[in-house]
Structure 1
Amino acid sequence: MIDLFKEHRKNFQEKLIEKMAVYYYRYTRYHTNYSVVICYVAEAIDLSIIKTHIRKSDEFFKLNNHLYAFVLDSTDDAQGIKTANNILSIIQPQYFSKHLYMAVVTASNYTDTFQTIHDLFDLIEYALHHNINNSVIDSTQPVLHEG
């Protein structure tokens, strides 16, 4: 599971950076903050149900059969974490036996999209490595890099 994720990480990051370009533009031009959430599921399942629980200004992306992301428009840290937890509580009952890993970052904590997405993927990789499933981790979670 972790090896497959690591193998394709760069491709996933590039896809997500491309998808969130409009949000980054609005952030730099108008200071409209946003959060990005990534959800990894150990077994291939369809999480498109998430689309019905986010606002029209938010955006949902399927990166592959195990990895999904969504951008939450006009959110700060607390709102991003709360929304990610709400989404997790909605999908958990339906996929109770599946291992769901979720991480969230907010644009205002970063200077560019590359670092934002890089740190988001570090968080989800940390969650996978330490089996922190069925909960949302965010940038306040210390990620210890093992050498």
Structure 2
Amino acid sequence: MLCYGPATSYELKQRVGQTIGNFWAFAHSQLYDEPARLVAAGLVSQSIEQGGRRKRTYSITDDGRKALAEWLAEPTLDQTEVRDTGLLKLFFSFGASPADIRRLARDRYESHRARADGYNQQRTEIESRADRWQLKTLELGLRYERTVERFWKDFLDELDRDPP
């Protein structure tokens, strides 16, 4: 995130929340702990405000840019991990009431629809200033959410035709 410009840990938290936080979950404490480790490794520099809260602003170094380029060049062969509580509950729904199953399907449908709508709104807001790769990540997020939204809608329709 520092390759987009210097930032404090708080500013990093805001950047992440509006961007990669949509598809890469991690503890926010990392945004406070990790910069110090990167400074020690020479990948990031820091400037400390004199007086006041003595906030630290971090910037990527040339070595940090080189490490980022090396990481980007590495093959990415691992499988995508899906951790979906709704699917987990559906899997174990043999013990659920028909009303609970319908509520699960409706809630998941509405949740994915709302998230997809949010991605559309986010795209509109950042389209003029985001680079094409950031927009591609939003595109995949939107496609994913619309696909999963459609799954739950189809499931709701199936429940209407053939109740449990």
TM-score by shorter chain over 0.5: no
The structure with the largest strand share of the pair is 1
The structure with the largest helix share of the pair is 2
Normalised by the size of structure 2, how large is the TM-score?
0.26
